[in-house]
Amino acid sequence: MEKSLIDYLKDIPDFRERQGCRHQQWFVLLIIIMGIISGYWGYRGLGRFVERHRRELIKLLSIPQARVPSYSTIRRVMMGLNYEELAKVFNQWASQYGKLPSHEWVSIDGKGLKNTVTEYGSAEQNFINIVSAFSHNRGIVIGLKVMENKKTSEITTVRELLEILDVKGLVFTLDALHCQKKTIDDIVNSGNDYVIKVKTNQPKLYEQIQQHTHKQQPYLSHHSQEQTRDRQSQRIVKVFSPPPDLDQKWSQVGCVISVERRGTRGGVPYERIGFYLSSLDPNSQRLALGIRQHWGIENRLHWVKDIVYQEDSSPQKAGFAPINLSVLKTWVLTLLRIHGYDSLTEAISSLSHHINYILSLCH
């Protein structure tokens, strides 16, 4: 029998001493998740959500002594809860409910939390970054890892996340920061494929691909056009066999790819070209779409958390609250997408204050 979201919340260790605690931690976390689904994410907003639905919550959740958590209780839990425990349990839940079929494409990228920045503009600047693995097709996060900028690197964190995911048969897309032989080895050895952007941080590889794609005929070529109010663009994706002199330490390279973009933006012409390294066969018809969808993690995850969930303007800065609230917002986003809600604004509008139905999503 599969565990529910509530069952997973109960697995998170409670950092508080039992004496004097009116509400179990899992219950407070459930209230926060339900509040976020209804469009509340500040302490006082969540407090108002609880007060507005006091009677329903008491009845539906069989709350003893007819007490509901206050905003100060919510604040205390968010500030003190060990975010590593929260992220660990989210990953366990996502591995059950976010299972992907073979050959699905998954973007891995990090998002810094602005409300965790310290020593801004100096060499001592520090912040929290949450690295997420995001499904192109389903729009869900299948795993995440929290890192502190001054203590570790995103490169190391991505490798740790790949180990946590424990998946096979997927295609991982990553930006040029992760064009590293060790990262590629880890992906290949885990039974997955990769498509990774190449820039001048790997100068020899970049030059080899640039020269090779200039001289050779592509296996495949895909053209597309796009027009918006202030932008016209043409996109040409070309897939080539690997350069014959490529260093063999780049694991299982199946093809290299060039992506040309040209057009006008605000009436100003532009032209750019980017290069990619991949373990996929050069005849793969999905390369053009997969490369384009990599940036869906920005539009469908990072943008949603910043604009819809107001993460970048969040005033919660004390303790572990910024990290815990960010993880819970990711949890809600993934939960709603699993249940068919692609647009989070539409989900909030449709579900807000329908306590019975919101609770049913968590069972």
Mean pLDDT of successive 10-residue stretches along the chain, which has 363 residues: 89 84 88 94 89 88 78 92 96 90 91 85 82 94 94 95 94 95 96 95 95 91 77 86 92 93 84 93 78 81 91 84 95 96 93 91 88
R_g over Cα of the chain: 23
Q: Which residues pair with 126 in a beta bridge?
A: 118
Q: Which residues pair with 130 in a beta bridge?
A: 111, 146
Select from 265, 282, 299 the last residue of a domain: 282
Could you give phi then psi for residue 259, rounded to 5 degrees? -125, 110
Select from 225, 260, 282 the last residue of a domain: 282
* Inside any domain, residue 11: yes
* Inside any domain, residue 180: no
* Inside any domain, residue 267: yes
pLDDT at position 193: 94
Q: How far apart are CA 97 and CA 5, in angstroms?
A: 9
| Nearest Cα residue to 135 out of 287, 338, 328, 327 | 338
Distances (CA, A) of 95 to 32, 133, 348: 22, 12, 25
Q: Are residues 342 and 274 in the same domain?
A: no
Q: Are residues 277 and 327 in the same domain?
A: no
Q: Are residues 269 and 325 in the same domain?
A: no
Q: Are residues 277 and 320 in the same domain?
A: no
Q: Which amino acid is at 63?
A: I
Q: How far apart are CA 59 and CA 80, in angstroms?
A: 28
Q: Are residues 268 and 334 in the same domain?
A: no
Q: Are residues 328 and 275 in the same domain?
A: no
Q: Six-digit token pair at 339?
A: 């249940």
* Inside any domain, residue 29: yes
* Inside any domain, residue 290: no
* Inside any domain, residue 167: no
* Inside any domain, residue 310: no
* Inside any domain, residue 64: yes
Q: Which residues pair with 255 in a beta bridge?
A: 278
Select from 264, 282, 300 the last residue of a domain: 282
Q: Are residues 202 and 278 in the same domain?
A: yes
Q: Is the whole-model pTM more than 0.85?
A: yes
Helix (H, G, I), strand (E, B) or coil at 141: strand
pLDDT at position 120: 72
Residue 13 lies in domain:
5-82+316-361
pLDDT at position 162: 95
What's the structural domain count of the chain?
2
